[in-house]
Amino acid sequence: MTTKVFFISRRSFLKRCSLAAAATGLPAWFVERDLAEAAPAPKLGPNDRPAIALIGCGGMGRADAGNARRFGDLVAVCDVDDSHAAAAAEQFSADGKKPVIYNDFRKVMARRDIHAIINATPDHWHTLINLAAAKAGKDAYGEKPLTLTIGEGQRLVRAVRKSRIVFQTGTQQRSSARFRLACELVRNGRIGRLRQITVWLPAGLRGGPFSAKPVPAGLNWDFWLGQAPKVEYVPQRCHSTFRYWYDYAGGTMTDWGPHHNDIVLWALGLPGPVTVEATHSSEPIPGGYTAYSDYEVHFTYANGVRHTVKSTRDDTIYGAIVNETGQRNGIKFEGDNGWIWVNREELEAGDESLLSTPLPAGALRLYKSDDHMRNFFECIRSRQLPVADVEAGHRSASICHLGVISLRLGRKLQWDPAREEFTGEGAREARAFLTREMRKPFNYHFA
């Protein structure tokens, strides 16, 4: 058998590069480097399609599952709300085959034919389900923020390492060339000594008071609440807006925060800050969402870099623009020689040459992934660490939890990122936030 080799001329290669550069807004040298090094995507045979289960069939779960079906077969869906599970099963029926519906994730874990799970439940359910996946030896794509507490993250990292499952965190900005380039430039000293990083996150919802309602048919409210305190059903506590209640999440600090702060840690190459000091500028409405919606958090690092996280009301939580000339969500890196701004749509610098000048051949390079879900499935085959491995997911969640702890205590705190412990004044109070009491039976013995 002969193999046909197609040669592409240097001229047409460069044309492709400049077209790609124009389309993405990335500098031509970076696009050229990426394209020149691009390995063809490995061909998949019919037996290479792992069986996948989706756990948590809300907005993000269904988006993730649609994405994952490019690489595997969705054979099961699981939700504690029957209507969400049924809708997902309907959406993902193919060739006369419908995914099997479950309402208890432990039954999914018991199915030996299922290779990988997607966990897109609310934040307070992430850890128990991810731990169950590790115990069952199933690879997992787990949505951000990885955990509800820093203590959960420490346990999960240990369990993933012990079980050797492949774990990808749903912080997909790590698979964007724009963010990778910004981090490579910062890491290689392009803006000189890094001094200040400023992150803007969309402000949270501030609403209430809300009243209790009858539990909708088909929703297992007690299971949905899981480890969180038992309360009456309030629709705003449940689907989608659970993020604005400290019982289940941490407001936009832990919703958008794990995306942008993950990029900050990637650019720094550090596991976390050494101090955190947070303030809020609006009070939650009694009987309404409990998480602070408008806030400012200041971190410092062992190398002297300052990192500020501010909420902005000019962008919505969905990334939509409210005020065209206002403050976009995103990240600004400032150093002695200039600044770089990056978000999901833009990459800019104080001086164009900071972007347009290629990095030298020996420059430090970061993990290259241009497709977060593909990277997960490639790692399932290669057994290598994915670009947003569990440790990265844990650290990007931890920094946001630190911000929330300081916000809730209203004080400055010292943190030892190597030992993952609070030190100095206020440490005793802050330590109480590293774990939470888990309502029985939804504790670590549950799965």
Ligand X SMILES: NC(=O)c1ccc[n+]([C@@H]2O[C@H](COP(=O)([O-])OP(=O)(O)OC[C@H]3O[C@@H](n4cnc5c(N)ncnc54)[C@H](O)[C@@H]3O)[C@@H](O)[C@H]2O)c1
Q: Which residue in 322, 295, 297 sits closest to 307, CA to CA?
A: 297
In the complex, least distance from residue 202 CB atom to ligand X, rounded to whole angstroms: 12
Choose between 240 and 303: whose C-beta lies nearer to ligand X. 240
Choose between 244 and 301: whose C-beta lies nearer to ligand X. 244
In the complex, least distance from residue 170 CB atom to ligand X, rounded to whole angstroms: 4
In the complex, least distance from residue 255 CB atom to ligand X, rounded to whole angstroms: 6
In the complex, least distance from residue 219 CB atom to ligand X, rounded to whole angstroms: 7
In the complex, least distance from residue 245 CB atom to ligand X, rounded to whole angstroms: 12
How far apart, in Å, are the Cα atoms of 97 and each of 70, 84, 121? Answer: 16, 18, 24
Choose between 222 and 283: whose C-beta lies nearer to ligand X. 222
Choose between 56 and 330: whose C-beta lies nearer to ligand X. 56
In the complex, least distance from residue 105 CB atom to ligand X, rounded to whole angstroms: 5
In the complex, least distance from residue 242 CB atom to ligand X, rounded to whole angstroms: 6
Instruction: Tokens 């069986």: give the residue.
Output: 51
Rounded Cα–Cα distance for residues 415 and 392 (Å): 18
Choose between 82 and 416: whose C-beta lies nearer to ligand X. 82
Q: Which residue in 355, 338, 391 sits closest to 27, CA to CA?
A: 355
Choose between 59 and 287: whose C-beta lies nearer to ligand X. 59
Residue number with the shortest CB distance to ligand X? Answer: 58
Residue pair 347/183 in contact by the 8 Å Cβ criterion: no
Q: Which residue in 361, 368, 343, 363 sits closest to 25, CA to CA?
A: 343
Choose between 172 and 406: whose C-beta lies nearer to ligand X. 172
Q: For residue 345, how far is the Cα from the chain centroid?
A: 18
Instruction: Tokens 């790609």: give the residue.
Output: 20
In the complex, least distance from residue 160 CB atom to ligand X, rounded to whole angstroms: 18
Choose between 142 and 417: whose C-beta lies nearer to ligand X. 142
Rounded Cα–Cα distance for residues 424 and 417 (Å): 14
Residue pair 261/220 in contact by the 8 Å Cβ criterion: no
In the complex, least distance from residue 53 CB atom to ligand X, rounded to whole angstroms: 10
In the complex, least distance from residue 259 CB atom to ligand X, rounded to whole angstroms: 7
Rounded Cα–Cα distance for residues 48 and 5 (Å): 25
Choose between 128 and 380: whose C-beta lies nearer to ligand X. 128
Choose between 320 and 361: whose C-beta lies nearer to ligand X. 320
CA angle at residue 83 from 114 to 139, to 5 degrees?
20
In the complex, least distance from residue 58 CB atom to ligand X, rounded to whole angstroms: 2
**Six token digits for residue 43:** 């061909």
- Helix, strand and coil content of the chain, in percent to the nearest 5, comes to 35, 20, 45
Strand, helix or coil at 240?
A: coil
Length of the chain: 447
Instruction: Report residue 169: phi and psi, to 5°.
Output: -85, 145
**Six token digits for residue 70:** 């490019």
In the complex, least distance from residue 185 CB atom to ligand X, rounded to whole angstroms: 24
Residue pair 84/78 in contact by the 8 Å Cβ criterion: no
Rounded Cα–Cα distance for residues 79 and 219 (Å): 9
Beta-strand pair 139-142/116-119: parallel
Choose between 235 and 338: whose C-beta lies nearer to ligand X. 235
Choose between 27 and 257: whose C-beta lies nearer to ligand X. 257
Three-state SS for 302-334 is CCCCEEEEEEECCECCCCCECCCCCCCCEEEEE
Rounded Cα–Cα distance for residues 32 and 18 (Å): 8
Query: Which residues make up the interface to ligand X (CB under 6 A)?
Result: 55-61, 78-81, 84, 105, 120-123, 125, 143-144, 170, 172, 223-224, 226, 239-240, 242, 255
